[in-house]
Amino acid sequence: MHLLEHLFLVGEFPERARLLSGLTLEQVTRVPDGATHSIYEELWHAAAYQQYVVESGDPNADRWPPKAPQQEQEWHDLVQRFLDCARAAAALEQSPERLAQEIEPGLTLANELKCVALHNAYHLGKIVALRQQIGAWPPLDDRA
């Protein structure tokens, strides 16, 4: 396994697809007492930042969702967008010349991707904590 695949998709804590599985619209839009964001908002934010770095996106784009999703498909689409971009980040391991490119003086794309993976880990950890608060952890397929 390559380092970026480990950081973005499978390593150190539950696989990202599994961590985000089995949630309903009601669950992902709920903001439990004491929380500042919903599961949807946390993932939307992580996905936006990840996409900005991996796809050289608009630095002025929204970093938080403008509104809550109205249909469960919006959640599934967001999960797919996050995972697709994470796979694209992991695939960059095959492009050492691109990883070595400086995106600003002294900061290579490889360095920035490690920062994105750390940022993702923070928000995915918050998602697990929110899932625990609402009784939706572990994912249904793990419950005995």
**Whole-prediction pTM value?**
0.92
From residue 139, alpha-carbon distances to 43, 65, 74, 78, 142 in Å are: 16, 24, 19, 18, 6
Query: Which pLDDT tens digits describe the chain residue by residue (144 residues)?
Result: 599 999 999 999 999 999 999 999 999 999 999 999 999 999 999 999 999 999 988 888 888 999 999 999 999 999 999 999 999 999 999 999 999 999 889 999 999 999 999 999 999 999 999 999 999 998 876 554
Structural domain boundaries enclosing 100: 3-142
Tokens of 40: 């949807």
CATH number of residue 29's parent domain: 1.20.120.450
If one counts the domains in the chain, the total is 1
Per DSSP, the three-state class of 64 is coil
Distance CA 120, CA 68 (A): 20
Strand, helix or coil at 35? coil
- Backbone phi, psi, residue 103, to 5°: -95, -15
- Joined together, the tokens standing for residue 70 give 């109205």
